[in-house]
Structures are given as C-alpha cells and as structure tokens.
Amino acid sequence: MLKRLEVRNLAVIREATLELGPGLNVLTGETGAGKSLLVDALALLLGARSEGLLGPFGDSLLVTAFFQGEGEERILSRRIGGRSTPRIDGEVVSLKELQEEAERWLSLHAQYTAIALLSPKRQRELLDALLPPGLLQEYGEAYRKHQALLAEKRTLEEVLRAKTEREDLLRFQLKEIQEASPRPGEDQELEAEAQRLRHLEALRERSGKAYTLLAEGGALDLLQAALRELRAGSRFDPALEALARDLEAALEGGRAVARELEDYLESLEGDPSRLAQLEERLSLLERLKRKYGPTLEEVLRYRERAEEELKALEGGEERLLELERALRVASEALYKAGERLSEARLEAARKLEKEMEAELSALGFPKARFQVELKPLPEPGPQGLEEILFRFSANPHLPPAPLSAASGGELSRIALALALLTGAEAPTVVFDEVDTGVGGETAWKVAERLAQLGQARQVLVVTHLPQIAARAKRHLRVVKEGEEVRIEVLEGEKRIRELARLLSGQYTEAALAHARLLLEGSSQPAQGRVEVQE
C-alpha cells in the first residue's frame, strides 16, 4: 500500500506530505485547495505528462511515493525540470521502468489517467481475472512451445537458404578455376612470351644491328688481328701469352654470340593470332588472381579449400522435416488450448456483462449497457486467439461504444464496478471524479462499494460527497492558506465539522447534528442510514 506521498513545487503546492492508512482513505477540501493535484502527482509516477504542473517555487518539481507490501518496500520518485530523473529506491531508471513498477502498486482512475483501463491489455486482464485457474497457463505454454519451434524452423530455413547460396557460389567458383586450369608460374611464362611478341620489330632491329657489328662490321676480324699480334709478341715476352689466351676466348665467345644471333633472327617470326591468344589467357589468369588470390599458387590453394568446404556442407533437410511435423502437432495443441480459453472467456464475458449492468445500475446508470467483445485476431497471440474490448453506453438509445467515449465520472464508476467484480486491481486504488453527478441513493451505493473495495485494497478517493467521506477509515483534508498547502488528518470534532461543510456548506447546529448522525450511521449503512439533502 501507499504509506506516504511527498510533493514539492507541484503547481500551487510548495511542499506537502500525504500519509495514508489501510482501507478507505478520503481526501476532501475546498475547491482549488489542491486535492486533484495530489492525484496528478501519482499520475506522474505512472508516466503522465507534466505540462502545467511545474510550480513557481523552484526550478523542478519532485514527487516521491513510499510503498509497502508483504515483506517488500519501494520508494518511487520522479523529478521534472532541471535534470529530470525517475528513480526506484534511489537508483536512476528510465521513465518506462518507473511506470511499470508504479503499475505494480497503484491503479489510478480519473478523467485523464484512465489510459490503463482504456487499453485492450488491461481489459483482457480484467476479464481473465474471472477465468478458471490454469487455462491461461496452459495456453501460454502451448504458445511458447509453438513459437520456439517456429523460431527454430525460420532460423534453419535461413541457414539452408544461405547454405544453398553458398553451395551454388562454391560450385561456380570451382567450375571457373577448373575450366581455366592454371599452372603455377604460367602467368610469368606467358607474360615473357607476350612481351617478346609485343616488341618484335624492336627486337629484330636491335639484334640485327648487333649481328651486323659482329659478323659483318669487322668486330670479329679486329679481334682476330689483335690475337695474331699478341701471339707474335709472346715470342719475345711470355707474359703476352696469357693475354692472347683471354683474347682467343673472347673471340670464340663473339663467334658463338654471332651464331646465336643469326639463329635468333631466323626465329623472330611474328604471329598476330598467337599474341591475341596470349593476351586473352593472361587476362583470364589476372581475373582469377583478383578474385581468389594474388598469385596462381593462391588460386590453386583456394580451389582446394573450396572443394573441402563443398564436401563438408551437408543438408539440414531432415531436421526441417522434423520441425514441420512438430509444428503441425504444436499448432493443433495451440488452437485447442486457444479454443478452450476463448470458450471460457466468452462464458466469463456474458457473466460479467450481466453483473456489470446490475452494478452500474446501482451506481447511477439504471439503463446502462455493458458489453464485452471478443474480437478474433488474424493469428494466435501470446494471450489468446482474440482481443478483448469493453463497450459501454449510459443511454439506452445509443449503442454501446468503446470506453474511450465515456466521461471521467463514468469511467471512474465503471472502474469501481470492475474492481469489485473482478478483484484485478493493484494494492492501492485511487479514484477522482467517482462522485461526479452523484447524489441521493446513488451516493450511498457508491460509498458502500468504495468501503467494500477498501476491505481488500487500500483505496484513496478525492470526493465532495459526505456519504463517501463518512465511510472512510482515514479522512484527510487539504487546506490552502495563502501560498501554503497542508494536509491534515481529521478526527473527532474536526471531522464532524468537515462533514457538515460537505453536507450544507455551513457549520450550523443542524448541519453538525446531521454530520454526527451520518458518521454514526456509516458503520451500519443498511440500518442506520441518514438521508442527506443535496
């Protein structure tokens, strides 16, 4: 339950502390004192927007709520302005995390805070609170099993698709390399031959000149003449014999080069088609090297690796067939569990419709119609085969419409009726505007039901009705004095005077007497009821 609420710089409230007790708590006070601002403060913890709530007493507003449950305590706070910060037990969290934690402790019903009640999720939870135990768990387990198999099947299909694509790619690459049949060093050999053919004329010119200089230009004859002179001189000096031998070797080498040049010149025959073949082959080898490795040796190594990988890729088709069989079984089980859940929901919906119409009639809507629509989903969802939608109409001449069309006062009383009939509420339930347009016998009915709800939950009601205020276990009053706002606990004569003010707006003896009778009769509503003039 909510033990204490502290607010600072919230609109007209500089600083205030609200301390609540178990059961039914009521909050009264003059118009404009700031009663609904305290509801706004709690709405901020539930993620509500803060426009217009930052007061003039500082740069930021701060809301802090202290909750206590069975063996558990939580401190939730939200600072807005300056460094806006949501916290749980002093630790900074996201606004979504704060909202989710606040929803565990708090339900809020007011004109602008009924977002939860308007959501299909909350309406489904309220209806499901009336179901036999085990149905939701049974469906949830079937759904999780089905989803797990479906996820595995999709993953395997992706793997198989990727595997098929990989196999196709490897086959293409192997075919490309195998058809080219490259040899290690082949590119270097072909490049040398192509280089020779590209420069055939230059080779002919240069080698021809060299041959002419050697064989026809007299270079060999000059060497032969020099050799004769050295041999003649060696008769007089043996030292020239060694030079003669060297020159003779050079002469033989020159003759050999001349013969080879002659053969080389005869071999220099140009074949344009051969050069084209070489260029085409070299282009193919270059493509292979760009795709599979910088050298032909690397290309051949890539081919070996691709062959090994292709052999290693084995099909997962058998597992896919197993998953498809398991999915058919799981899908059948899911739909059966969903149909059982749907049947139970339909039965609970018809029962809730009757009970809600009776309850709403007692709460001031004698001709109200309440409908629960089970709208089928296109495919099974995590919570069943349908979406739940509540519809309401207070006017018998208008068809029931979604709850979003209801007023704040209507929503508050719808929420009260649902809380009593389903029991699906947070530990602390807050109502604002639940007494809007209520008087006479209906006021008593609303008061009785709030007190009844207070037996199972902590309830806080912002009210102007004395009938509701008289039923509270704890009565608090918001008092505004100048710029100061304080919250006082009313007991004894102070509570009598506040009830008198709510009854007639005055503190006359008659009003005070009626207030005493009202407070005494509130403990026995059926026998000791006091009729109050509105």
CATH of the domain at 66: 3.40.50.300
Residue 197 shares a structural domain with residue 104: no
> Does residue 170 lie in a domain region?
yes
**pLDDT computed for residue 533 by the predictor:** 40
The reply to whether 284 falls in a domain is: yes
Q: Of 101, 68, 77, 73, which is closest to residue 2 (Cα–Cα)?
A: 68
Which helix (H) or strand (E) segment holds residue 10: the answer is: strand 2-10
Q: What is the rounded CA–CA span in Å between residue 322 and residue 117?
A: 44
User: Of 312, 329, 356, which marks where a domain is finished?
Assistant: 312
Tens digits of per-residue pLDDT, 314-350? 656 778 889 999 999 999 999 999 999 999 999 999 9
* Res 333: pLDDT: 97
Residue 534 in domain: yes
Average pLDDT over residues 401-428: 90
In this structure, the answer to whether residues 420 and 297 fall within a common structural domain is no
**169 within a domain of the structure (yes/no):** yes
Share of the chain above pLDDT 90, in %: 54
Q: Give the containing element (helix H, strand E) for 16.
A: strand 13-19
Residue appearing with tokens 């071999």: 267
Report the distance separating Cα 372 and Cα 59, nearest Å.
47
User: Quick one: what percent of the chain has pLDDT higher than 70?
Assistant: 92
Domain boundary among 281, 312, 343: 312
User: 64 is written with which tokens?
Assistant: 């802090």
List of residues 6+ apart from 390 with CB closer than 8 A: 123, 126, 370, 371, 372, 373, 402, 403, 414
Query: What is the number of other CB atoms lying within 10 angstroms of the CB of residue 337?
Result: 23
Q: Is residue 358 part of a domain?
A: no
pLDDT of residue 522: 66
Give residue-wise pLDDT tens across range 491-520.
999 999 999 999 998 889 999 999 999 998
Q: Are 122 and 402 in contact (CB under 8 A)?
A: no
308 and 236 share one domain: yes
pLDDT for res 42: 95
- In a shared domain, residues 171 and 302: yes
Q: Are 222 and 338 in contact (CB under 8 A)?
A: no
Whether residue 306 sits in one domain with residue 174: yes
- Predicted confidence at residue 528, as pLDDT, reads 36
Whether residues 445 and 520 share a domain: the answer is yes
Confidence tier at 532 by pLDDT (50, 70, 90): very low
Outline where DSSP puts E strands in 409-473. Answer: 428-432, 458-462
Q: Are 217 and 286 members of one domain? A: yes
Give the start-end residues of each E strand in 81-186: 85-88, 91-92, 106-109
Domain presence at residue 472? yes
Q: Is 150 within the bounds of a domain?
A: no
pLDDT in tens, 88-146: 999 999 999 999 999 999 999 876 555 678 889 999 999 999 999 999 999 999 999 99
- How many angstroms separate the Cα of 275 from the Cα of each of 200, 266, 344? 11, 19, 87
What three-state secondary structure class fits 494? helix
More confidently predicted of 57 and 237: 57
User: Are residues 75 and 174 both part of a single domain?
Assistant: no
* Number of domains forming the structure of the chain: 2
Whether residue 378 is contained in a domain is answered as: no
Given a contact cutoff of 8 angstroms between Cβ atoms, the answer to whether 469 and 499 are in contact is: yes
How many Å apart are CA 338 and CA 344, to the nearest integer?
A: 10
The stretch 38-52 carries a mean pLDDT of: 91
Based on the fold, state whether residues 307 and 438 are members of the same structural domain: no
pLDDT band at 217 (very low <50, low <70, confident <90, very high): low
DSSP 132: P
Instruction: Let me know whether 496 and 412 are in one domain.
Output: yes
Full residue range of the structural domain in which residue 200 is found: 159-312
Give the DSSP per-residue string, 247-266.
HHHHHHHHHHHHHHHHHHHH
pLDDT digits (tens, 9 = 90+) for 230-277: 888 878 788 888 888 888 888 888 888 878 777 776 776 766 677 788
Same domain, 273 and 206: yes
Q: Using one digit for the tens of pLDDT, what is the confidence trace for 359-377?
A: 999 999 999 999 999 999 9
d(CA 348, CA 372): 9
Q: Are residues 298 and 182 in the same domain?
A: yes
- Which of residues 312, 346, 377 is at a domain's end? 312
**Maximal C-alpha separation, the chain:** 168
Strands 61-69 and 484-490: unpaired
Least Cα distance to 182 among 65, 46, 298 occurs for 298
Query: pTM of this prediction?
Result: 0.69
